[in-house]
Amino acid sequence: MAQAVNADLQRERQNATFDVDQLTYFLHGGIEKTRRKRYLQNLAIQGIAKLQHRKLAQLSREEQYELLLRKFAYVSELEKQLGLSDPTDLYHLNEAVMTHEPSGFTLHSAAFVSTVEKLASDAQKEKWLPLMKSFRVVGTYAQTEIGHGSFLRGLETTATYDSKTEEFVIQSPAVSSIKYWPGGLGKTCNSCVVMAQLISNGQNLGNHFFLVQIRDFNTHEPLPGITVGDIGNKFGFESNDNGFLKFDHFRIPRTNMLMRYSQILPDGTYISPANDRLLYAGMTSLRAMIVGSNERSLCMAVTIAVRYSAVRRQSEIEPGSGEVQVLDFQTQQFCLFPQMANAYAIKFASKAIMAYYHNVAVHINKGNLEELPILHALSAALKAYSGWICTEGAKACQFACGGHGYSEASGLPKIFKSVEPSCTYEGENTVLMLQTARFLVKSCSRIAKGQSLPGVLAFLQMSSGGRSSLDNSWSTADLILAYKHRARRLVYDVAQKLQTSIQQGRQSGDAWNANSVELVKASVAFAQLYIVETFADVIEPLNGRLKHVMETLWQLYAIHGISSCLGDFLQDGFFSSHQVSLLQSRLLTLLAELRPNAVALVDAFDYPDAVLDSALGRWDGNVYEALYDYALQSKLNEKQVLDAYHKYQRPFMESQWKQNSLPVVQSHL
């Protein structure tokens, strides 16, 4: 029998000033798509309930690994039964089954198959893709080594071509060259795409991709010349068998090099790609996908923290007036509402970058690479920025829930452990920001030469100087102009410093390193500008009360972002001290304006309880009952008196009594 909804939470929903369903439909593409999402997720949730009887954190690592394999098998079979092929349908189904819980198969489709689709020749795809999509060949993406990660040119694994046998000899020349961290590599995969230094006719031709079978397809035992295994416990993703892989003169056929853009002929002759960037174009899709994964983590964390803050009553505002909802405290609003704004902002940006990726991918397939550099720069910046901001946001939400936020029952530890590693995988964030900075600096040079730039870089063509005309009318254009001004100044300032350093005789690499902190700051400003503009553009078509609420949330995002980096906006006098006072006052006013709609804004994300997986964030608000139920499920409670009491605790206690000449304690005081 369902429990009644917590009265405080019910009142929050009744007091909202807009239609929550209207916002949910907007976020999910309309009423029919929302219904479709709910239908698929409910199907998945009902099935999973039969497989999983304990929270993931209550299982051993081995049990977690096995459970996620079962979950993956279940959802794959469900996809076949329903005849699903639409990416959105597949996304919703998998979200309901494996939220923040990757399995050994996770990178099979996301990285292994997708890399082959992008980089294999037509003949290779015809041969391999049917085997991969039917899971005869199960793989992952093996790039990172123990000694090298984001610096790809430093990778040490070699693939030396032997023209006599028409084979590549894959070798791990040192301990530092052992492949390390790929998900699913440890125990699940029988193959992988390996990035290695291609050597032919004595010449190192740089990194290329190779399809490598590592385990026997029937016995699943490692092949001779292969040493492979699981890397052990780590922070988060315990259900995934991240692995290591060492090659000892392991041979693969010449045709196992992915040859869509570059080739090795039988005699060892190398045919180079028309553009080296094509080999790495696939990374942009993974980074764009990570932005979506990050925003989902923050959306869930905010949902949990806001709902719990509406249910939790603690302390008094006026002495004797009784305990109040924690959400009524301005400090709690200041902690959570900017995170709520961040969640919406990153959500809209993730959709925009994925749409842009799909558009550019069409052009790339036709041989048009004009937009690839901006896609790379933008996806790198957003992957990095979303990783930082969503990690900080998830941790802030955990803090906001007090002690209960540290219980696995809250769902917040799992969320944090899933989003925080995104700051390093698929490109360490600082390195990615520096890649974006390199593109921005080059764009300044293009302007100097009179060349045109894509629209997303139009801010670089603005005139320098000027002062803000911001007043208490809170014009959207004025707030966006502040972000444009700041981004332009930071990019040009650091570009000028680089040029001056080189002109003074400094080596370019040294000059770059000496200005790298400011280069990262310029890239962050670029990312924030893109996000604040995207947010404004997305909500523009809305109307009525919903538009008013979303404009208030957008304004909070914009003003909080300015407040957090105020020095950047004050450095050249763009804002006056009076305008700063206006901004700081408006920030607090916005908290109060959003207070009645806080629960409604997180409800609109539309996460079922089974997906949210949180005692604190449950829809009905019956938090304390859920926490108590979770405690009762602890394995330590399966026996009232543990074996450890008789083995260790009791003997220790008795030894202390004897040492202090105390009588044996009676059964009752």
Q: Which residues are annotated as a binding site for FAD?
A: 144, 183
How would you write 120-172 as a 3-class SS string?
A: CCHHHHHHHHHHHHCCCCCEEEECCECCCCCCHHHCCCEEEEECCCCEEEEEC
Per DSSP, the three-state class of 180 is strand
Contacts 24+ apart (CB under 8 A), 474-477: 474/555, 474/586, 476/536, 476/551, 476/554
SS3 content of the chain, % helix, strand, coil (to 5): 60, 10, 30
Judge residue 13's burial from the number of C-beta atoms within 10 Å of its C-beta, 0-12 exposed, 13-18 middle, 19 or more buried: middle
Catalytic residue selected from 145, 426, 533, 593: 426
CA gap 185, 76 in Å, rounded: 20
CA gap 195, 184 in Å, rounded: 16
CA gap 507, 84 in Å, rounded: 56
List, as residue ranges, the binding site: 144, 183
Which residues on adjacent β-strands are paired with residue 252? 168
Residues 6+ apart with CB under 8 A from 623: 6, 308, 311, 312, 404, 615, 616
CA gap 450, 558 in Å, rounded: 32
CA gap 587, 561 in Å, rounded: 10
CA gap 7, 551 in Å, rounded: 29
Q: Which is nearest to 297 in space by CA: 428, 395, 433? A: 395
Q: Which is nearest to 137 in space by CA: 217, 247, 253, 241? A: 217
Per DSSP, the three-state class of 99 is coil
CA gap 41, 33 in Å, rounded: 12
CA gap 236, 619 in Å, rounded: 26
DSSP state of 406: G
DSSP state of 6: P
For the residues of 181-234, what is the DSSP string, one character each? --TTTTTT-SEEEEEEEEEETTEEEEEEEEEEE-B-TTT-PBPTTEEEEE----
Residues 6+ apart with CB under 8 A from 259: 120, 121, 124
Residue 354 backbone phi and psi in degrees, to 5 = -65, -40
Q: Within 10 Å of residue 435's Cβ, how many Cβ atoms?
A: 17
DSSP state of 318: S
370 is catalytic: no
For the residues of 630-654, what is the DSSP string, one character each? HHHT-GGGGSSS-HHIIIIIHHHHH
CA gap 72, 109 in Å, rounded: 12
CA distances, 545 to each of 22, 339, 586 (Å)? 10, 22, 20
**Residue 383 near residue 426 (C-beta atoms within 8 A):** yes
Catalytic machinery residues: 426
